[in-house]
Amino acid sequence: MNQETNRGMPSVRVTFPDGATKEFPQGTTALEVAKSVGPRLAADALAAKVDGRLVDLSHRIQSDAPIQFVTPSSPEGLEIYRHSSAHLLAAAVLELFPDAHPGVGPPTETGFYYDFYREKPFTEDDLAKLEAKMQELVKADLPYERVYYNKEEGIKLFEKMGEFLKCELIQEKADPVFSAYRTGKFLDFCRGPHIPSTGRIKAVKLLSVAGAHWKGDEHSHPLQRIYGTAFFSKKDLDDFLNQIEEAKKRDHRRLGTELDLFSIQDDAGPGLIFWHPKGGIIRTEIEDWLRAELVKRGYAMVYTPHAMRLHLWEISGHTDFYRENMFGPMPVENDRYQLKPMNCPGHILIYKSRRRSYRELPMRLAELGTVYRYERSGVMHGLMRVRGFTQDDAHIFCMPEQLEAEVESCVEFAFEVLKTFGFDRYEVELSARDPNHAEHYAGTVEDWERAEGALIETLKRMKVPYKYMPGEAVFYGPKIDIKLVDAIGRPWQLTTVQFDFNLPRRFGLEYVAADGHAHTPVMVHRALLGSVERFFGVLIEHYAGAFPVWLAPVQAVVLPISEKHLTYARQVSDKLREGGIRVELDDRNEKLNARIRDAQLQKVPLMLVAGDREIERRGVSVRRRDTGDAGFQPLDAFIPWLRELIDTRAVKW
């Protein structure tokens, strides 16, 4: 209840994060509260949380409430800052290009974008002009002014402005009274919050322009999407831009062509990968290691068809929750068949093929199964986002009391994968349901609470730090996602461990328990690499194509100095090949330095020079890809050394 001040003016009591309280006149702004704490906080604050709700600093506090200020160090700080930077971009666009019609402009993990409808395409020169205008608006220190309209009034206003995209959004999403933000000449339907003014934006950069479609619908308005990024300091921005430049050097699409690893063929269609011989060698190494580990850990390898009756996907719920990502069913003899987007129904049918006893559980079925998912052309990206890919998929059928042990085993297996392939950093997320949208999920609230609890307890017992992600679960259950962090600090989503209590019920799965009665098992979906294609793309970029020796498609190249050394060079090649080493002989009529350079460009780990001295001493002069000349090595010592690197799957050598 509001207190009364000495003058009879109503007051409110705010509670700070440390538990301290303070009274202010009713209607005091969040910024005034920050100023009362100190000038440093007032200068740092970007927004506030009042009674748990994110608000602008101009928000007036009308009742007693806890308050917490959002600063650059707050989890929400950068997102709000980038959202405001997107509005700054839109304000600059309307200043320079009044024929542009703004769509939406959200923050992203790496920056922000804003979509515009405009008949004339934006150019790189336009981006430079826009960036200069944005800096002008920053110097002008324009406020992000929050204003309110009733819905009918707001639609008329935006119609008068000719902003047909905004009118559509307001019609669909606005409350009877909605908020908008004015930044210079730009007015946007937006819930906010925003930083106080454009002058608070210290480091912003426009990156590129690309095509998009309104609401992601390829049949709707074609749009132009301007990408940008913003940071709290110029140093952070420079570090990010340097990372972008490094990422360009490591781009798996460019390296895939230069190293002849894979291709995507127009004649076959987008999003379908052709593995070339060198890429196929690396894939084989990855899969052979994985299969051996699976067998060692008690998995049984299975294979299931690429297409099955659509009826299965109706039972599983995919047609209800996942239809937009499935290729349309194919008519076959008065029935309909579906290219599989998932392997799980096939594994379920194997489990269901006969009556199961509790003594058979846990049953771990694994498959390197190719699946097909419809991805729109605008989102496909090399190996990272494709339409056909192979999952290292496994499904574990177990009793409820076995669940946590199986999840723990899956997480431990994932960490072994990371270590083996040279990733020493990772992030763990626990994806839960959105309690406000129960319609997006199958199962009861009790099921979800029990499932989420099991995953949380497992991670706590393993002492694995994790980030809780509400609303990120799949429709049939919560999951643990493990993101590896690559050599230049980028996270990649690969491993997932999902708990499923829905599909066993939907398919009527049972096992006979020790009490002689039939019970329903629970199920764990588990993929470690995620997809072989995506994992391969991440490997290429992590190593910039310079793979560890055990993965390299060509592990050594033998280089005879001249034609008179060719016979010995062939003997060396044969001996290496007999030792199970992938070797090539480069006997081209080119200078030695040119052939060394070509081997370096192909990122071959070891170059072995053969000349008079090497013939005499029965060895090779070794040149390493990374450090150059490594001196003479007798073959009898060199081959066992190289063989050990391969057998131990050494990442550093």
**Max CA distance (Å), the chain:** 106
Can you give the pTM of this predicted structure? 0.83
Average pLDDT of 457-477?
89
Per annotation, catalytic residue among 146, 205, 318, 479: 479
The answer to whether residue 344 is catalytic is yes
Say which of 373, 433, 526, 534 is annotated catalytic. Answer: 373
Task: Check whether 179 has a pLDDT greater than 70.
Answer: yes
Residue position matching structure tokens 């007693």: 64
Q: pLDDT tens digit string along 95-108?
A: 999 999 999 999 99
Residue 451 or residue 48, greater confidence: 48
Mean pLDDT calculated for residue range 419-432: 94
Percent of the chain with pLDDT over 70: 99
Which of 59, 225, 340, 395 does the annotation list as catalytic?
Answer: 395
Give me 163's structure tokens: 């902003």
Instruction: Identify whether 479 is a catalytic site residue.
Output: yes
Please, which residues bridge with residue 474 across strands?
477
Catalytic residue among 393, 481, 486, 500: 393
Active-site residue identified among 167, 190, 344, 398: 344
Residues facing 54 on adjacent strands: 49
In three-state secondary structure terms, 641 is helix
pLDDT digits (tens, 9 = 90+) for 182-218: 999 999 999 999 999 999 999 999 999 999 989 887 7
Q: Is 126 a catalytic residue?
A: no
Q: How far apart are CA 562 and CA 579, in angstroms?
A: 25
Domains defined for the chain, CATH in brackets = 3-70 (3.10.20.30), 77-243 (3.30.980.10), 262-543 (3.30.930.10), 556-647 (3.40.50.800)
pLDDT of residue 248: 93
307 band by pLDDT with thresholds 50, 70 and 90 = very high
Tell the residue number behind the tokens 């994992």, with chain if given.
535
Q: CA 517 to CA 522: how far, in whole Å? A: 16
Tell me the C-alpha distance between 639 and 636, whole Å: 6
How many Å apart are CA 653 and CA 644, to the nearest integer?
10
Decide: residue 317, CB within 10 A, 0-12 exposed, 13-18 middle, 19+ buried. Answer: middle
Residue 4 has pLDDT above 60, yes or no: no
pLDDT exceeds 70 at position 3: no
Marked catalytic residue, from 224, 338, 391, 633? 391
Model pLDDT, residue 40: 95
240-255: buried (b, 16+ CB within 10 Å) or exposed (e) per residue? beeeeeeeeebbbbeb
CB atoms within 10 A of CB 292: 10
- Three-state secondary structure string covering 581-611: CCEEECCCCCCHHHHHHHHHHCCCCEEEEEC
pLDDT above 70 for 1: no
List beta partners, residue 396: 364, 524
- pLDDT, residue 5, reads 47
pLDDT tens digit sequence for 539-572: 999 999 999 999 999 999 999 999 999 999 999 9
pLDDT (0 to 100) of residue 279: 98
Measured CA to CA, the distance from residue 417 to residue 290 in angstroms comes to 8
| 22 is known as an active-site residue | no
Return the DSSP state at 488: T
194 is catalytic: no
Tell me if residue 318 is catalytic. Answer: no
- Annotation says 525 is catalytic: yes
Q: For 532, list phi and psi in degrees, rounded to 5.
A: -65, -40
Which entry of 200, 252, 525, 582 is annotated as an active-site residue? 525
Mean pLDDT of the chain: 94
C-alpha distances out from residue 320 to 324, 342, 376, 446, Å: 9, 14, 19, 22
Model pLDDT, residue 7: 55
pLDDT of the residue at 8: 60
Q: For residue 626, what are its two tokens?
A: 């990374």
3-state secondary structure of 346: helix
Nearest to 201 by CA among 42, 32, 87, 368: 87
Mean pLDDT calculated for residue range 387-407:
95
Within 13 Å and on the Cβ side, how many CA atoms surround 58? Answer: 12
pLDDT score of 319: 87
Provide the phi-psi class of 283: left if phi over 0, else alpha when psi is between -120 and 50, else beta. Answer: alpha
Dihedral sign computed on CA atoms, order 435, 440, 446, 452:
negative
Query: For strand 330-332 and strand 335-339, is the pairing parallel, antiparallel, or unpaired?
Result: antiparallel
Provide the residue count of the chain: 653
Is the pLDDT confidence value at 371 over 50? yes
pLDDT at 173 over 60: yes
Q: Quick: pLDDT tens for 278-297.
A: 999 999 999 999 999 999 99
pLDDT of residue 446: 82
Q: How far apart are CA 618 and CA 637, in angstroms?
A: 11
- Structure tokens, 610: 């053969």
Q: What pLDDT sits at residue 377?
A: 78
- The pLDDT value recorded for residue 363 is 98
Instruction: State the first-to-last Cα distance of the chain, in angstroms, to the nearest integer.
Output: 69
Residue with tokens 């084989």, as numbered in its chain: 284
Q: In 3-state terms, what secondary structure has residue 204?
A: strand
* Cβ-Cβ contacts under 8 Å for 277 (sequence gap 6 or more): 260, 553
Report the interhelical angle of 635-647 vs 566-578 (nearest 10°).
40
